[in-house]
Structure 1
Amino acid sequence: MQLNSNEISELIRERIANFDMASEARNEGTIISVSDGIITIHGLADAMQGEMIELPDNRFALALNLERHSVGAVVMGPYADLCEGMKVRGTGRILEVPVGPSLLGRVVNTLGQPIDGKGEVKAERFDPVEVIAPGVIDRKSVDELSKPVTKR
């Protein structure tokens, strides 16, 4: 069957009209080395100090060493199966953990995820792990000495 130029033009117009141009900005990179829980990533140009980097299998790493063409990150969990060439993604979120009364008596990992088998932590809010300490003037002064504890 032969298509004439009118049919081809109509087909092209229809495809253009129905073209879905949805796009999403993503900060992606590639692991270029893995060594003792430290990964080096190429391609995360917009990474921030302390940013959570999403790894395969819903794991995370913490960006700590920002260089011109690479990012060094500490893996927060098992890393034995990570290898060069794997894709990772910047989350744009600084490491934060759940805080509040719901954490009393709970055991959580470095990401604030429960590991005590008591179900999900229902946090009221999340706070960043790294915060600027209050100035010396704003702090409460020490008004009692603590005794050193010695074992016999």
Structure 2
Amino acid sequence: MKRMIFPTTVVSLILCSQVHAFFEEEGRCQKRDLRGNWVSYQNEVLKNPHTGVCKFSVESGKVEGICDFSLKDEQGHPLTGLQFTGEATVKEDCSARLTMDFTPFGRPFVSAFDLQLHRNKKSFVGRWENTFGALGTANGVKQ
């Protein structure tokens, strides 16, 4: 009987440590978790209430994308198709920082997002602000 208990105990300990390692690793985020194509929905709640949808890709921490906003320019044209570049970083706790820089494409603003990835790493929620002092919320999904 003693011969059977010892191997069973060893196998149980090994399985428990593997299960613990699996769930511990699942909760951590890495740079690769941001990689891919995303759709983000945001709204501005402070200065000039509006909504927006942005489609962007992240590769090696670099961001490229395009946004459509529910605003119009001075001539009354919709603010759609606005291109941007930026950077994205993520910490082990799955908090992330993303910038959308519209200045290379003739628009004088940069938006900075503070995000929290869901534990499945396929969606996020957060807040953003830009150089005009606009402030809002954001959420997004990985495509």
Give the TM-score taking structure 1 as reference length.
Answer: 0.28
Query: Which protein has the bigger strand share?
Result: 2
Task: Give the structure with higher Rg (CA).
Answer: 1
TM-score, normalising length: structure 2: 0.29
Larger helix proportion of the pair: 2
